[in-house]
Structure 1
């Protein structure tokens, strides 16, 4: 996106934020910060929209979504960079000169209160993030030479896993197992599935 279009988009979001009283902005930001701290599973935009409408603020669906995305991205970026409240406000002012002082004060206060928790949650997520298995293929073969099979012409199972890493990259992992190893692998998968059904 060209800088002019990006600036226009940011200014449009800031114009919409200008419509919010400090209390409404605080409430919307708390929804987002609660999610970024890992305390909820998502941001309930319908609840935010209802609250805005009760207060007389009319935003269409796309404008509301853009505002939530912008605030979430700003807080996430500040968390990853370990920014202070002052640094966050400076970065926001660099992106647009339309920010009202009252809105920046709200964002500064909320980030000063919750920024460290968001940063800590992002570090935990980065450490715990693992790839997601999206495909598993297997085939039965006959060993001609192997380090694990005791004799040649023993059957083996070849597995090919397709994994999406948290970064979005797709990796392929392949390995071979003897028939007893595969049977044990299958048994462990069945046990995991049974445990997951009880959760």
Structure 2
């Protein structure tokens, strides 16, 4: 994307952010900050949209999602970099000359209150950044020909795992194992499930 288009896009988002009354900007930011602090499972644009509509603010769905995405990236990168409230506001002012003083004051105040907790949560997430298993498939097969293996006609199990990586992308991993290895794997999985039920 050319720099002119990118800055035009940022200026549009900033215009929409600055068009929100300070109390509604505060409430929108608090939804995002509570998520980034690990106190919410996600940020629901529909919930924020209802709050804005009740206050008489009309924003189309795409504009609201752009606001949420922009604020999420701003707060997340501010947390990762451990920025002070002054530094966060300076970076915002450098990104666009469209910021209103009232909006920057809201963001400065909220980051002063919540920035340290967001930073701590970002550090914890970085240390615990492991994928989440979302699906597992297996199938039984029989090897019938091979250049390197002498013992053919032996059964094997192919496992395919779907994993959501910390970035949010879903990836697939496949591997094969012998039937005894698969039986051992199954036994260990049952033991893990039993332990997790006691938690």
TM range, smaller chain: 0.7 to 0.9
- After superposition, the Cα gap between the structure-2 partners of 1:15 and 1:144, relative to the gap in structure 1 and judged at 3 Å, is closer
In structure 2, the CA distance between the partners of 1:153 and 1:62, relative to structure 1 (3 Å rule), is: closer
8 Å CA contact 1:24–1:52 kept in 2: the answer is yes
What does the per-residue CA deviation read over 1:75-117, in whole Å, with 9 as the maximum and x for residues that have no partner? 1111111111111101111111011111101101111111111
Superposed CA deviations along residues 126-146 of structure 1, whole A, max 9, x for unmatched, are 22222345665554559958x
- Give structure 2 stretches of 5+ with no counterpart: none
Partner of 2:103: 103
Larger deviation, residues 152-161 vs 77-86: 152-161
Deviations 1:13-48 (Å, cap 9, x if unpaired)? Answer: 111122222111111100000011111111122222
Structure 2 residue 81 is the aligned partner of structure 1 residue 81: yes
Q: Map 1:101-140 to 2 at 5 A.
A: 101-133=101-133, 136=137, 139-140=141-142
Question: Where does residue 182 of structure 1 map in the other structure?
Answer: 182
Cα displacement string for residues 133-170 of structure 1 (whole angstroms, at most 9, x for unaligned residues): 5665554559958xxxxxx7895746455565435595
Aligned length, in residue pairs: 192
CA RMSD after TM alignment: 3.2
Larger deviation: 121-130 or 95-104? 121-130
Q: Which moved more, 1:11-20 or 1:134-143?
A: 134-143
Q: Distance in 1 between matches of 2:195 and 2:69?
A: 36
Q: Secondary structure at 1:42's aligned position in 2?
A: coil
Distance 1:82 1:16 in 2: 26
Corresponding residue of 2:35: 35
Mark the runs of 5 or more structure 1 residues left unpaired by the alignment: 146-151
When normalised by structure 2's length, the TM-score is 0.79
Query: How does 1:148-167 map onto structure 2 within 5 Å?
Result: 157=156, 159=158, 161=160, 164=163, 165-167=165-167
For the pair 1:50 / 2:50, whether they are aligned, the reply is: yes
